[in-house]
Amino acid sequence: MIDSAKVIVFIKGLWVTREGHPVLENVSLDLKEGDFLGLIGPNGGGKSTLLKVMLGLIKPDRGEVKIFGLEPKAARSRVGYMPQKTLFDQSFPIKAIDVVLMGRYPRTGFLRPYGQADREASRRALEAVGMKDLADREIGALSGGEQQRVFVARALVSEPELLLLDEPTAGVDAAQQTEFYDLLCRLNRKLGITIVLVSHDVTAISQYVNKIACLNQRLYYHGSKELTAEDIEKAYGCPVELIAHGTPHRVLRKHD
């Protein structure tokens, strides 16, 4: 029985196939309010697919999926999403605040003009990610890290309770990545937003998240930050050694 007051993501026995080949196999996952999950795994392992199932964009072949106790499509207004790649013309003259306003579309509806409440919500979202002072700057004039913050603000402007981020630090340098992860921690701890963060960098996200799962068609997850070496080797299909020395590190042994 789902306790919707505590468990906001409930997935059990999930299967997704494409052209007869499994993309996700018997995946089960539950997340509670305030969780910060780091989702790692090799390319093509199904991480983006899992997020899209949670958004109701992909219908599973088998299994149960409930978000806030509802079918994913019915819960979509309570979920913010930042896709893996945001492609746009860097020379297009659009301001940061106008990019954020796009996130209000589900509330305004087709061709309905944005109102004062939408603009105020957009400025609050920019303030939450430390970009309020650059609201009127054109998006192409911002650094990569600043652009990523704007895209997070776009995901936040709908005031979500669950935030799904698909490799949000791709193309962002190390210093800006640290700032970005610190930002997500503030959103999680101060605003109470539950976050699912897809990343390839287990050594970085392990410092910030409170739960880690590894996905390669099958999900390896224990409801904590602990993953065994066996879990990771099964997921990546090659030998992996995990060592800790101050900051966690990952070392790969020689393999075919």
Burial 66-90 (b: 16+ CB within 10 A, else e): bbbeeebeebbeebbbbbeeeeeee
Domain layout of the chain by residue ranges: 7-251
> What is the pTM (predicted TM-score) of this model?
0.82
Is residue 88 within 8 Å of residue 139, measured between CB atoms?
A: yes
Identify which has the larger pLDDT, 166 or 86: 166
Please check the confidence at residue 50 and state whether its pLDDT lies above 90. Answer: yes
Please check the confidence at residue 107 and state whether its pLDDT lies above 70. Answer: no
Burial 193-202 (b: 16+ CB within 10 A, else e): bbbbbbbeeb
Is residue 106 within 8 Å of residue 158, measured between CB atoms?
A: yes
255 band by pLDDT with thresholds 50, 70 and 90: very low
Which CATH superfamily does the domain covering 7-251 fall into?
A: P-loop containing nucleotide triphosphate hydrolases (3.40.50.300)
224 band by pLDDT with thresholds 50, 70 and 90: confident
Please check the confidence at residue 113 and state whether its pLDDT lies above 90. Answer: no
Residue 145's nearest CA partner among 132, 155, 131 is: 131
Most confident of 27-31, 87-91, 108-112: 27-31
179 band by pLDDT with thresholds 50, 70 and 90: confident
The residue assigned the tokens 């800790």 is: 244
Residue 55's nearest CA partner among 18, 94, 87, 82 is: 82
